């Protein structure tokens, strides 16, 4: 099901839409794709942030990361 909406675009958004339309997309398809892509990126960032938070909360994993970082520091060539 599709639903018509109305939006007001500022100069930046209008310029971005123009670039998308220049690829051959219709105005509607360009807007739909941009919205879906933006939502996907937001979801991906939230998932990554949740994974990072889980790793940071894992004390065993944190200790192992510190050990690896220390080992790498010891192996670094002198300056």
pLDDT digits (tens, 9 = 90+) for 4-63: 999 999 999 999 999 999 999 999 999 999 999 999 999 999 999 999 999 889 999 889
Q: Residue 70 — pLDDT band, cuts 50, 70, 90?
A: very high
Is 6 contained in some domain? no
Q: Residue 79 — pLDDT band, cuts 50, 70, 90?
A: confident
Is 2 contained in some domain? no
Host H or E run for residue 38: helix 27-57
Cα-based distances in Å from 49 to 21, 27, 62, 63, 73: 33, 33, 16, 20, 27
Is 66 contained in some domain? yes
Host H or E run for residue 78: none
pLDDT at residue 1 tops 90: no
Write down the pLDDT at residue 78: 82
Is 69 contained in some domain? yes
Is 19 contained in some domain? yes
Is 3 contained in some domain? no
Is 21 contained in some domain? yes
Work out how many domains the chain is built from and give that number.
1
Is 1 contained in some domain? no
| Residue ranges making up the domain that contains 21 | 11-75
């Amino acid at each position: 099901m599709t639903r018509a909406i109305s939006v007001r675009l500022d100069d930046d958004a209008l310029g971005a839409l123009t670039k998308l339309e220049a690829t051959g997309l219709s105005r509607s398809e360009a807007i739909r794709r941009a919205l879906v892509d933006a939502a996907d990126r937001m979801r991906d960032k939230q998932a990554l942030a949740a994974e990072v938070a889980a790793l940071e909360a894992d004390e065993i994993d944190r200790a192992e990361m510190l050990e690896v970082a220390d080992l790498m520091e010891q192996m670094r060539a002198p300056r």
